[in-house]
Amino acid sequence: MYWDLEQVSEPIAYKLLAATVMPRPIAWVVTQDAAGRTNAAPYSFFNVMGSAPPTVVLGLMGDATRGFKDTASNIMATGEFVVNLVPERLVQAMNITAVDAPAGVDELALAGLETLPSLHIKPPRIAASPVAFECTMLSSVVTGPHQSIMIGRVRAVHIDDACVLNAERAHIDTPALDLVARSYGSTYVRSHDTFELDRPKWADWSKSHPA
């Protein structure tokens, strides 16, 4: 089957992308507006994009009635945001913060979530999240009507001490983070069904596969 995305409606394009690009990690983004009011919302169009400098990217779709969502507006206004990652035990709270609340509503309060102060930026991090990235905006690109890409530099990483095996060597007990990801529709994916696959090295490959 073939779809020309120049010809189909936006909901169809979204369904095709969201149903096939999976699993998608969830960025649980905390921002503040210029007046210091806190906002939180989850986004699954998200990933890390480099380590020199440490970089993340958020894809922020528009709101049908308000235009830019609060997250995008706040990042453009202040240049700061925190990306928290979502363990399975917090999926219900995360889902509450996805509510289409009016501008200015503190979704963290709605979900009963406590925060801790960030060290480099003003927006706080979610205390119960096992991983949080303090970020400052490197650049933004408006890709469509009230749709934007936010590229952020990670200034600091917070990881739950219980999930750190060796701090000096940055060895993390990744399975203990118990993170979830988005799939198609309202489906989520757990991160425990894994397998090992070593990347091939040319020196070994060329010996076992002579020309």
CA 163, CA 101: separation in Å to the nearest integer?
33
Residues 6 or more apart from 30 whose CB is under 8 A from it?
A: 38, 39, 40, 81, 82, 84, 108, 115, 123, 124, 125, 126
Measuring CA to CA, which residue among 199, 193, 211 is closest to residue 23?
193
Tokens linked to 83: 């990306």
Q: What's CA 4's distance to the chain center, in Å? A: 28
pLDDT in tens, 149-160: 999 999 999 999
**Are 80 and 127 contacting, i.e. CB atoms less than 8 angstroms apart?**
no
Lowest mean pLDDT among 7-11, 102-106, 131-135, 166-170: 102-106
Measuring CA to CA, which residue among 85, 150, 156, 151 is closest to residue 118?
156
Q: Which domains does the chain have, with CATH numbers?
A: 10-208 (2.30.110.10)
- The pLDDT of residue 129 is 98
C-alpha torsion angle, residues 182, 119, 113, 85 (rounded to 10) = 10
Q: In this structure, are strands 27-32 and 80-84 parallel, antiparallel, or unpaired?
A: antiparallel
Hey, how many other C-beta atoms are within 10 angstroms of the C-beta on 111? 18
Q: What's CA 27's distance to the chain center, in Å? A: 2
Side-chain-facing half-sphere of 130: CA atoms under 13 Å: 19
Tokens linked to 17: 């992308």
Residue whose entry in the numeric block shows the structure tokens 């994009």: 49
CA 119, CA 51: separation in Å to the nearest integer?
20
pLDDT in tens, 17-60: 999 999 999 999 999 999 999 999 999 999 999 999 999 999 99
> Does the reported pTM lie above 0.85?
yes
Residues in the chain: 211
